[in-house]
């Protein structure tokens, strides 16, 4: 599998990054190991996880995913072959991450998160350590042209009481890099303003320069292209898109309101991000477009994301091996001009219906 440079670093990551948020909830340890075995046999060298995982977040399951990855690396003795990404939670009232208090992006909480993740992963360093979401009060992935949904408004953005300054947070990551606990620093669920502020502080010498941003990107949410694409291109920051299948809504399994037994939507009722007004009709249109090209909707949706020139590594997830096989094969699809024109024609009419 082709490799691409991560930001300005010397790390070369596979075009597919293996997501892990189902391991420890929907998937057992053995199933997680099987997914990693398959992905690495196909040339993947990049795994993304988080202290939060598995999803949905719960006190009794939090941290299981990192333990599963750690046990796999220990069993295979292959830590040096894995580019490992994890995340610290942003501001949250949930006390169970830190054990006795809500969490913020301050030194004590970030160090607590790193040390716990290192222990669970069974390693002494993390290649890419990311802020899972900003401490600032901003909507995740909001964009200016969501059809039928309330768009982000100026009065929806403002400083929270006691908000940790970006410079203060970044200085903690500087300590972590110098201590050898992390190699590189990344962001997730960030805005253009946030990315540029982190860059500005790094340019002042406050801390490490951001190398990547992990935001949702898929056929029904191309909001990244509005502003962040230019930021990332000019500043040499890698996009690591998550949710290429829009939480499964671009696989066709939810077409016509279906909710298959055992699906995430049926199990957890957490699909509201992809259940906005008009979303179902648009998702079905893209799924039908995939079928018109003789492709499974999931393969088509992943191939679209993998084909974008601003994507460094597409984060895919699966609960079944056959689903992962399909996701891995998306990098072998030849994305044609005809496909792109057909996708853009729909997008021109409907915009980005999902945040």
Distance (Å, rounded) from C-alpha 55 to C-alpha 33? 18
pTM given for the model: 0.94
In CATH, the architecture of 3-248+298-350 is Alpha-Beta Barrel (3.20)
Q: Where are the domains of the chain?
A: 3-248+298-350
Q: How far is CA 264 from the centre of its chain?
A: 17
Count Cα neighbours of 143 within 13 Å in the Cβ-side half-sphere: 25
CB 90 within 8 A of CB 48: no
142 Rama sector, left if φ>0, alpha if ψ -120 to 50, beta otherwise: beta
- Token pair listed for 81: 């072959």
Assign 3-state DSSP to the chain and report helix, strand, coil percentages, each to 5.
40, 15, 45
Regions of the chain with pLDDT less than 70: 139-158, 266, 270-271
pLDDT value for 63 = 97
CB 327 within 8 A of CB 16: yes
pLDDT value for 158 = 65
- The secondary element (H helix, E strand) that includes residue 38 is helix 29-41
Distance (Å, rounded) from C-alpha 107 to C-alpha 112? 8
Which residue among the candidates 53, 254, 274, 304 is catalytic per the annotation? 53
Q: For residue 18, count other CB atoms closer than 10 A to its CB.
A: 28
- Token pair listed for 277: 């007004």
- Residue that the structure tokens 């502080």 belong to: 201
Angle formed at CA 251 by CA 245 and CA 257, multiple of 5 degrees? 110
Q: What pLDDT, in 10s, does the model give residues 53-74?
A: 999 999 999 999 999 999 999 9
- Residue that the structure tokens 């299981």 belong to: 64
CA distances from 330 to 105, 300, 340, 342 (A): 36, 7, 15, 18
Q: What pLDDT, in 10s, does the model give residues 129-168?
A: 999 999 987 766 544 333 334 445 555 556 777 899 999 9
To the query of whether residue 53 is one of the catalytic residues in this protein, the response is yes
Residues in the chain: 355
CB 70 within 8 A of CB 284: no
């Amino acid at each position: 599998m082709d490799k691409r440079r991560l930001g300005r670093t010397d790390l070369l990551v596979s075009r597919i990054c293996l997501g892990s948020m189902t391991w420890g909830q929907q998937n057992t340890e053995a199933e997680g190991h099987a997914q990693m075995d398959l992905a690495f046999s196909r040339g993947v060298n990049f795994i993304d996880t988080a202290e939060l995982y598995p999803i949905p977040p719960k006190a009794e399951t939090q941290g299981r995913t990192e333990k599963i990855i750690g046990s796999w690396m220990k069993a295979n003795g292959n830590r040096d072959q894995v580019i490992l990404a994890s995340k610290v939670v942003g501001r949250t009232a949930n006390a169970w991450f830190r054990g006795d208090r809500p969490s913020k992006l301050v030194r004590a909480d970030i160090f607590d998160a790193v040390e716990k993740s290192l222990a669970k992963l069974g390693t002494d360093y993390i290649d890419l350590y990311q802020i899972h979401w900003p401490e600032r009060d901003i909507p995740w992935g909001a964009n200016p042209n969501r059809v039928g949904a309330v768009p982000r408004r100026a009065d929806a953005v403002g400083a929270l009481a006691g908000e940790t300054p970006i410079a203060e947070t970044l200085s903690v990551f500087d300590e972590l890099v110098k201590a050898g606990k992390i190699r590189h620093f990344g962001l997730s669920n960030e805005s253009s303003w946030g990315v540029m502020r982190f860059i500005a502080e790094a340019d002042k010498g406050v801390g490490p320069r951001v190398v990547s941003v992990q935001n949702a990107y898929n056929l029904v949410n191309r909001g990244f292209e509005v502003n962040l694409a230019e930021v990332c291109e000019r500043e040499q920051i890698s996009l690591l898109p998550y949710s290429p299948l829009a939480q499964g809504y671009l696989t066709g399994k939810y077409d016509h309101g279906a909710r298959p037994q055992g699906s995430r939507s049926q199990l957890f009722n957490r699909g509201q991000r992809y259940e906005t007004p008009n979303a179902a009709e648009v998702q079905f249109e893209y799924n039908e477009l995939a079928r018109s090209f003789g492709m499974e909707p999931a393969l088509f949706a992943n191939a679209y994301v993998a084909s974008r020139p601003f994507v460094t590594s597409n984060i895919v997830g699966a609960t079944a091996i056959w689903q992962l096989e399909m996701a891995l094969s998306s990098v072998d699809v030849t994305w044609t001009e005809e496909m792109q024109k057909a996708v853009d024609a729909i997008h021109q009419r409907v915009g980005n219906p999902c945040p």
